[in-house]
């Protein structure tokens, strides 16, 4: 009877977790288009991402306190995980990625960061002995090929060793996001993890800007998009509220339902979302090759799902 109950809970978690994970991916995916408008208007990437994280942290501050309901001991008990989440999953991912794109091709840097799902599979294999199935490996390969096509780097790109190392750092940060988000046995509500992690991340980015590691400059000029110009605070709020606060909350909740491996591959839909919002906000249309890549990414996600062990409980994190 317990087996039937667990299987039912697993199926229910997947049915609910998949749409939540896709919603998180699409929310995350809109940030690039909004940020591109700010950067074209005179903002540095560091200023855009710092504003994004601060807005999200402030939006979630009161809900985070409410979700804890006075259980401050949960913060003390999970202080190490919160610090790892804020510094790795938030600060390091953002900081290292922008350091990478400063010295190398943007598409190549993003491709390296989005190899995070492969790192998650490797981590689960080494840490928990969960050997990936042949289908999971095949799905990873299909998704990887799809990303190569979507990011349009098959024509070749200059490789900068320092940039590759920075991008690998961003990849590790992204992988840590999935691994840490999947921990469901901490007693810490998803909202509390997102809120405290983002606040710590915002502080980390601010310190990086203050000491000169992350160049920060901004302007209050209007920002131009495909549909017209808007005040500077419109994209800032869109990035902070929708593409960060809501996205991180949905991402943590869905990862706890799906597990870090499957959630990390579903999150590849963020690349598809980025292309969609690039068209809607900036008028950037993907070509036929990129469209084929998007189809391969989705196919890879399906194959990975088919390769998941039937007895695995996706609600249990690493």
- Tell me how crowded residue 46 is: count the other CB atoms within 10 A of its CB: 22
Residue 226 DSSP label: T
CA distances, 195 to each of 80, 203, 235 (Å): 15, 12, 21
Domain boundaries, the chain: 2-306
Burial status of residue 290 (CB atoms within 10 A of its CB: 0-12, 13-18, 19 or more) = middle
264-284: per-residue pLDDT in tens? 778 778 777 877 888 888 887
pLDDT of amino acid 278: 82
pLDDT of amino acid 183: 67
pLDDT of amino acid 88: 85
pLDDT of amino acid 2: 37
- Report residue 262 CA to chain centroid gap: 14
Contact 257, 81 (CB under 8 A): no
pLDDT of amino acid 237: 95
The alpha carbon dihedral of 191, 118, 21, 186 has a sign of: negative
Contact 201, 53 (CB under 8 A): yes
pLDDT of amino acid 106: 59
107-131: per-residue pLDDT in tens? 667 667 777 777 777 777 777 777 7
pLDDT of amino acid 58: 93
Please give the chain's pLDDT, 318 residues, in tens: 433 333 444 566 677 888 888 999 889 888 878 888 888 899 988 898 899 999 999 998 988 888 888 888 888 888 888 888 888 888 888 778 777 766 776 566 766 777 777 777 777 777 777 777 788 788 878 877 877 776 666 655 555 778 888 888 888 888 887 777 666 566 778 788 888 888 988 988 898 889 988 889 999 999 999 989 999 999 999 999 998 888 888 887 888 788 766 777 787 787 778 778 888 888 877 667 767 877 787 687 677 766 665 444 333 333
pLDDT of amino acid 68: 86
């Amino acid at each position: 009877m317990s087996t039937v109950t667990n299987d039912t809970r697993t199926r229910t978690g997947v049915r609910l977790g998949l749409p939540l994970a896709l919603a998180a991916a699409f929310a995350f995916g809109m940030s690039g288009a909004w940020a591109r408008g700010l950067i074209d208007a005179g903002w540095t990437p560091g200023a855009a991402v710092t504003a994004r994280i601060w807005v999200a942290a402030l939006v979630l501050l009161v809900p985070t306190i409410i979700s804890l309901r006075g259980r401050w001991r949960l913060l003390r008990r999970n202080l190490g995980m919160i610090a790892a989440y804020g510094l790795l999953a938030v600060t390091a991912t953002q900081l290292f990625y922008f350091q990478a794109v400063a010295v190398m091709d943007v598409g190549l840097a993003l491709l390296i960061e989005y190899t995070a799902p492969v790192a998650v599979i490797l981590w689960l294999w080494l840490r928990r002995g969960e050997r990936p199935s042949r289908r999971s490996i095949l799905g990873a390969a299909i998704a990887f090929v799809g990303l190569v096509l979507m990011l349009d780097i098959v024509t070749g790109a200059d490789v900068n060793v320092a940039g590759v190392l920075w991008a690998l750092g961003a990849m590790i940060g992204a992988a840590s996001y999935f691994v840490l988000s999947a921990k469901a046995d901490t007693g810490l509500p998803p909202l509390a993890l997102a809120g405290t992690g983002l606040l710590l991340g915002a502080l980390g980015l601010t310190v990086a800007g203050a000491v000169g590691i992350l160049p920060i400059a901004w302007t209050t000029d209007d920002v131009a998009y495909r549909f017209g110009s808007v005040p500077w605070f419109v994209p800032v709020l869109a990035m902070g509220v929708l593409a960060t606060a809501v996205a991180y909350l949905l991402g943590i909740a869905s990862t706890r339902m799906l597990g870090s491996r499957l959630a990390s591959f579903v999150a590849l839909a963020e690349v598809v979302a980025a292309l969609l919002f690039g068209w809607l906000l900036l008028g950037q249309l993907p070509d036929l090759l990129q469209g084929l890549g998007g189809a391969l990414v989705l196919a890879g996600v399906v194959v990975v799902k088919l390769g998941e062990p039937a007895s695995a409980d996706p609600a249990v994190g690493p």
